Structures are given as C-alpha cells and as structure tokens.
Amino acid sequence: MKFFVDTADVAEIKDLAASGLLDGVTTNPSLIMKAGRPMLDVIKEICAVVPGPVSAEVTAVEHKKMLEEGRKLAKLARNVTVKVPLTPDGLKTCKVLTSEGTMVNVTLCFSAAQALLAAKAGASFVSPFVGRLDDIGQDGMYLIDEIMTIYRQYPHFKTEVLVASVRHTQHVVQAAKLGAHVATVPPNILRQLFKHVLTDNGLKAFLDDWAKTGQSIL
C-alpha cells in the first residue's frame, strides 16, 4: 500500500518525507486555507519535496474553467495530480486531462457506482471518503470493499483506489486488508501507526538494562 499524507503544511511534509514513508501528498482548498499561503506557491514547494503524486484541486465547477485551472496546475510540476470532483463536468475534465498525459484524482466519491464512472473516465486515482460515510452511519470500509471487488473484475482499469477521509489507524489497516492501493492520511494518524505500548515498554526495558552495563557504543 502507498502512503500519501493529507496536508498542505510543508514543514510536516518535509519531516514525514525524511522517514521514507511518503509516496505522495493530497491537498484540497480547505487544507490550503489552513496553510495561509498562495496555493500555487505551496504546490510547487511540496512537489519539490516529494517526488510522488501531489494532488492539487481545481475550484471551478464548470468543465471549461475546470480544464483551464487543471492545465495551469499541471504546469507547476511533473508530479502534480489534478484533483477534480466526481461530477459530470469533473469527469469530462478528467477524460481530457488524462488524454493529455496529466494524472487526475477524482475526489468526493461516496458510492461504488461513482467509482466505476471514474475508472471509465480514465482517472489515475479515485478518492472514496470513508470517514464521512462513517459520520452519517454508513460503513465507509464497505464502500472500499465494493470498489475493489468491481475493479478486480476489469483488469484493464488502471484507476487506483485512494482511501480518503481517514479518521484512525484501523481505517488504514482495514483498507490494506482489502487491497486498496493508497491511503491518504493526516499527519497525526500517520504518526499513530508507529505507536504501540509494547514497543515503548520494550524499548524502555532494553535501555534501562543497557544503562546498567555502563557501556557505550560510541
């Protein structure tokens, strides 16, 4: 499974990238707002830090303007992935940009039918929002199961399932068990994947015993 981090905080991205765990980055207008900087500057900087796909979202809702914005974003760096909404205009834009060699992430997916359409339109990624489905009493991970089942029936589909709106580490584990290609994870959740009380306790015990030896490796 690939790990993307879901943030526009460049300092966070640099820190996590140093771990070697990051395969890409996703951003959206809300995350750009939190960053408090011009969007194009932020995307350029992120693309220079992370060589993998960096999702930058259009803000237009009509196809013609969406396409103009998408083309402008794609020119920022070779690893920009233009993010479009799962609407008729978004899928039209996806088809054109994909034909031009641009990676496209179709976002705001909430049903298996929508994911099927995204694959038909040639999306590089489709982003089902599991946490938001959980919020309204539905099972977000069941959607991932449905999408993966459908995609496996059609090997010619190249669209990768990018699990989004991840709320806790079990979302990541469950998505991996289902074979999802990518999870995009907030920085705090990505760091939680490291944590286990037995790891902490074991390390403390080893270090306490080492201190008693009075030795030093260096």
Confidence at 42, pLDDT banded by 50, 70, 90: very high
Q: Which domain holds residue 120?
A: 2-195
Instruction: Give residue 89's pLDDT.
Output: 98
Q: Is 83 a catalytic residue?
A: yes
The answer to whether residue 89 sits within a structural domain is yes
What is the reported pTM?
Answer: 0.94
**What single string gives the DSSP state of each residue in 87-134?**
SHHHHHHHHHHHHTT-EEEEEEE-SHHHHHHHHHTT-SEEEEBHHHHH
Question: Can you give the CATH number for the domain in which 147 is found?
Answer: 3.20.20.70
The answer to whether residue 112 sits within a structural domain is yes
Element (H, E) at 160: strand 160-163
Average pLDDT over residues 136-150: 98
The answer to whether residue 217 sits within a structural domain is no
Average pLDDT over residues 142-154: 98
The answer to whether residue 214 sits within a structural domain is no
The answer to whether residue 127 sits within a structural domain is yes
Instruction: Give residue 158's pLDDT.
Output: 96
The answer to whether residue 206 sits within a structural domain is no
Q: Could you say which of 44, 64, 75, 83 is catalytic?
A: 83
Instruction: Give residue 206's pLDDT.
Output: 97
Return the amino acid letter for 210.
W
Instruction: Give residue 87's pLDDT.
Output: 98
Average pLDDT over residues 87-107: 98
The answer to whether residue 202 sits within a structural domain is no
Q: What is the mean pLDDT of the chain?
A: 97
Number of domains in the chain: 1
Cα dist from 39 to 30, 33, 69, whole Å: 11, 9, 12
The answer to whether residue 200 sits within a structural domain is no
